[in-house]
Structure formats: C-alpha cells, structure tokens
C-alpha cells in the first residue's frame, strides 16, 4: 500500500468542478484552464459528477442560445433581467421536485448566490448579533461560517445520537433551548437540513411535527435547508417542510425554505440558490440584501430555459436518483464486505459511516488518528464526524457521488487492505508514510476538526 498514489475523496483546489470537467469533455468552455487530475480520491464534499453527465448537452444547447448571448442580455444588469421568468421556472421546478404536493408562489422567492448566501441572508433577517439558532448535530461544517461569521449569530447544538439513528427528539430540542438560555442566548429559531448533510437521511413526518410544534410553542422560526431535495433515491421519502405545514394555521410566517441548484443539478459554480418564505418582511429584507450576491443575468436566462424544459427536468430527476441509488448501494455493500456499517440513508450524496470499531481509543483524538491514517496510508480523504460536530467519535462522512465507479472500487480496495492489515489501531508513523505527508498539501489538513476550532 505504501506505493499506492494517494487518492483524495475531496479537495476543491486540486480538481476542476464536475460541471467544468463535463463541459470541457463536450468540447465547450475550452477557455477553462486544464489541470492535471489528482490521484487523491476526495470523498469529503458534495460536488457532483453524476448530474453533470446527465445535463451537459442541454446546458451547452441553452448556453449557445441566442437570447443568452444577445447584446441586450450581456449588457443587462441582473436587477433588470425579467426575474419573474427565472422565478416562475424555479417555483415550478421546486413543486416538481416535491412531487407537486405543494405549489410555490414565485413572488415569495428571493434569488441568492447559492444556499450559502440564502442561509446567511436569513440569519441577517432573523437574528441580531449574539442571538442563536439551534441546529441538530451532526451538521454541515459550512454552517459555522455561513451562519455566524458575518452576522454575529450563534449556533447552539441539538445533540442527536446514534442510539436512535440521530433522530431529532422533543427532549433534545428542549435541552438545546435550555443550554442557550444558560448561556444567556436568545433563541430565534431552529435550522434543519432535510435531506441531511452529513447523514444522508430524510426527516420523518414525526420529526417534522415535533419541530413545528416546538417553534410554535417557543414563538421562533424554522429554516429548512432543502438543498438536497431532488436527491431522494430510496424510501423513506422526502417530505418538505412546505408539505408538513400545509393547512396549518399561524405557522407559515415562521417557515423559511432554502434551496439551491448546486447539488440537485450539480451546478455549484453557477451560484444559484433561493429563499422561499411566506413572511413578507423576510422576503422584502432578503430581496434588498440579495443585491450583495446577485445571480448574473446570463445565468438566469440559461437556467430559466433549462428549468422550463419539463421533458428534460422530469427525465433528469428520475435518472439522477436512479444513478445515485446505484452508487450508494455500491458503497454500502462494499463497506459491508469490509465489516464497516453505515447509517441507513435514502437521499443526498453521502453515507454516514460507522468506523467506531476501528478507533484506537473512543475519543476525538482517536478519531483524528484514524482519519490521518486513512488519508496518509490509504490515500482517501473523508470527513471525520467531529468536523460536523458529531458528539460520538468514530463516524465519518463519505461522499459517493463525486467520483467514477472505478475510483469508488479502487477506494474500497484500498480500505479493505488497510482494515485487513490490522493497522487501523496502531499509532506508529513509519518512514514509509513521510513522503506522502509531504505530498499532501495543506488543504487536506485544514479539514480537520482541530482547525475548525479556530473558526468562530
């Protein structure tokens, strides 16, 4: 294994985005600088390969469309673009992704530069500096940046555990609320990610009801980040908060949905996201704030055309989910053969993998030791649970959608050799590993939870 070149299951800096890879393969976007592909398999982020294989031709078709390239469009300021075209298309697409069980009003949508900007904007709208949002653990590591850095808001964890599959419970919500009060933090709301990053699960109807009852009882807000809404590839299904609150009085003004095309369509570089809210004050404030993170007029035209193509979106959603399921099942089965279990997932791009039995000690130090071995000896970059604020050491997030089947097979072979070697628990740092350590650049290490501690 010492001779195997390292494989990274993540790492933006060493690879082209899937969309660019795909478009360059198709012959367009030749101006994009060509980089050599890295040997490090990166499975710690949700950039997508699967969807771009599905829509790159369509994108190329619409990209070269006359409206997009016309002088008027190019000269247009984003605010002058007839946003209603794009918003109507997006609202319709949101309904389709949710099985048309709920209809979305384009007037209640605010376009943002991805879900990152949508989440931050909601924080600015709903919380003053020093006020708090409750988030179930484990959660997407980017929230520490998106929700806190510029807004001054605080995150208080809702501690979820493996004992019930990391489900949200009433006592856990209440305990988080009490924790915030002990820290003299005023709680302004709860933020959930559904489907979940990093768990790959969907919230049950029961959990959604508990959440809704809780925010009503405490007179606070509920943000549902539904960036993975189009990825539900298996049962149980995905229930949007919009469906769960349908017909309930006195609730719509406190529910806010975040969506984005970064994951479902594999377009993180296009920076298209949105806030959907029935709260007029939020829509009005967020619209004003969206001036600081506009989506270019060209992007809006392109995506309006793509999303309005119902024949394409219908086929795309089905095919994408089918391919995600195949890849997910391949990972779960491969890990099972190595004796590694996963939390049962049915959506998103991740598996929440249980490697507790491979830890040298049942501590976060033990988790970091194992993570480093997996990076340096196995050549796989996966996310340690501590980077997602998981309370229990030994869980790891593995992304299965950002690589080819061959790469996934190779990753599994390497992991198997590592587990079979029985070296998982040992702590020696042999000379053989040193060159690889030098080879791996700083960005891999930056993903460690210790570094994240220095973040606010």
Ligand X SMILES: Cc1ncc(COP(=O)(O)O)c(C=O)c1O
User: Which residues are annotated as catalytic?
Assistant: 140, 225, 227, 263
Give the nearest distance from C-beta 190 to ligand X in angstroms: 14
The nearest distance, CB 295 to ligand X, in angstroms, is 11
- Please tell me the distance from the alpha carbon of residue 199 to that of residue 179, in angstroms, as a whole number: 24
Q: What are phi and psi of 227, to 5 degrees?
A: -60, -25
Residue 217: CB minimum distance to ligand X, A? 26
- 352: contact with ligand X by CB under 6 A: no
Residue 118: CB minimum distance to ligand X, A: 8
- Look at residue 5 and give its three-state secondary structure: coil
**Angle of helix 310-337 relative to helix 405-421, nearest 10 degrees?**
20
Cβ-count burial 238-264 (b if 16+ within 10 Å, e if not): bbbbbebbeeeeebeebbbbbbbbbbb
> CA–CA separation, 275 vs 103, rounded Å?
15
Closest CA to 195 of 224, 236, 228, 218: 228
Closest approach, Cβ 36 to ligand X, in A, equals 25
Establish if 273 lies at the interface with ligand X (CB under 6 A). Answer: yes
Distances (CA, A) of 62 to 22, 67, 183, 301, 358: 15, 9, 52, 9, 49
Q: Does 268 bind ligand X (CB under 6 A)?
A: yes
From the CB of 306, what's the least distance to ligand X, in Å? 16
- Binding residues for ligand X restricted to 174-193, rule: CB under 6 A: 193
Q: Which of 131, 225, 264, 392 binds ligand X (CB under 6 A)?
A: 225
Q: Is 99 in the site for ligand X (CB under 6 A)?
A: no
Task: Give dist(CA 224, CA 209) in Å, integer.
Answer: 13
Using CB under 6 A as the binding rule, whether residue 116 contacts ligand X is answered as yes
User: Are 272 and 111 spatial neighbours (Cβ–Cβ below 8 Å)?
Assistant: yes
Q: Pick the binder of ligand X from 6, 10, 18, 114 (CB under 6 A).
A: 114
* 385 is a site residue for ligand X (CB under 6 A): no
Q: Does 12 bind ligand X (CB under 6 A)?
A: no
| Binding segment (CB under 6 A) for ligand X, from list 112-120, 239-247, 410-418, 437-445 | 112-120
Residue 255 main-chain phi, psi, to 5 deg: -105, 130
Q: Using the rule CB under 6 A, is 120 a contact of ligand X?
A: no
User: Which CB sits closer to ligand X, 73 or 194?
Assistant: 194
Q: Which helix (H) or strand (E) holds 417?
A: helix 405-421
Q: Segment near ligand X (CB under 6 A), from 32-40, 100-108, 173-181, 260-268? A: 260-268
Among 54, 91, 97, 115, binds ligand X (CB under 6 A): 115
**Comparison of 123 and 378: residue with beta carbon closer to ligand X:** 123
Q: Supply the minimum distance, in Å, between the C-beta of residue 112 and ligand X.
A: 8
DSSP element (H, E) containing 217: helix 205-218
290 binds ligand X (CB under 6 A): no
- Asked whether position 87 contacts ligand X by CB under 6 A, the answer is no
Among 6, 10, 46, 379, binds ligand X (CB under 6 A): 46
Tell me if 270 sits within 8 A of 244, measured CB to CB: no
- Burial of residue 76 (CB within 10 Å: 0-12, 13-18, 19+) is middle
Which residues lie near ligand X (CB under 6 A)?
46, 114-116, 140, 142, 193, 197, 225, 227, 260, 262, 268, 273
């Amino acid at each position: 294994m010492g001779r195997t070149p390292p494989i990274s299951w993540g790492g933006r800096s060493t690879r082209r985005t899937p969309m660019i890879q795909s478009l360059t393969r198709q012959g367009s976007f030749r101006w994009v600088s060509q980089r050599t592909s890295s040997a490090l398999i990166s499975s710690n982020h949700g950039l997508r390969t699967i969807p771009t294989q599905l829509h790159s031709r369509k994108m190329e078709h619409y990209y070269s469309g006359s409206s997009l390239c016309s002088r008027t469009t190019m000269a247009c300021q984003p605010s002058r673009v007839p946003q209603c075209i794009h918003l109507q298309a997006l609202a319709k697409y949101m309904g389709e992704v949710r099985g048309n069980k709920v209809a979305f009003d384009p007037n209640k949508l605010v376009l943002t530069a991805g879900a990152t900007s949508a989440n931050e904007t909601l924080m600015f709208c709903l919380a003053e500096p020093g006020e708090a949002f409750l988030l179930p653990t484990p959660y997407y590591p980017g929230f520490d940046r998106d929700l806190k850095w510029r807004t001054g808001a605080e995150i208080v964890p809702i501690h979820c555990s493996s004992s019930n599959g990391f489900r949200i419970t009433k006592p856990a919500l209440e305990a988080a609320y009490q924790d915030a009060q002990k820290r003299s933090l005023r709680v302004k709301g709860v933020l959930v990610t559904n489907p979940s990053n990093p768990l790959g699960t969907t919230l049950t109807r029961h959990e959604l009801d508990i959440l809704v009852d809780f925010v009503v009882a405490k007179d606070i807000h509920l943000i549902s980040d539904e960036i993975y809404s189009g990825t539900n590839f298996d049962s149980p299904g995905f229930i949007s908060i919009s469906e769960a609150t349908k017909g309930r009085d006195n609730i719509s003004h406190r529910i806010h949905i975040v969506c984005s095309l970064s994951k479902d369509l594999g377009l993180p570089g296009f920076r298209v996201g949105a806030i959907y809210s029935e709260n007029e004050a939020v829509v009005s404030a967020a619209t004003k704030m969206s001036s600081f993170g506009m989506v270019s007029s060209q992007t809006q035209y392109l995506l309006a055309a793509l999303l309005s193509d119902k024949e394409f979106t219908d086929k795309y959603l089905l095919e994408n989910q089918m391919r995600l399921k195949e890849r997910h099942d391949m990972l779960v089965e491969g890990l099972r053969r190595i004796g590694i279990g996963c939390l049962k997932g049915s959506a998103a791009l991740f598996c929440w993998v249980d490697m507790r039995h491979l830890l040298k000690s049942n501590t976060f130090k033990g988790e970091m030791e194992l993570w480093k071995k997996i990076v340096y000896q196995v050549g796989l970059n996966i996310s340690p649970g501590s980077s997602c604020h998981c309370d229990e050491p030994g869980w790891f997030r593995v992304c299965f959608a950002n690589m080819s089947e061959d790469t996934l097979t190779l990753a599994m072979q390497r992991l198997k050799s590592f587990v079979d070697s029985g070296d998982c628990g040992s702590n020696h740092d042999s000379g053989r590993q040193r060159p690889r350590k030098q080879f791996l650049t700083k960005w891999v290490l930056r993903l460690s939870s210790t570094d994240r501690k220095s973040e606010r």
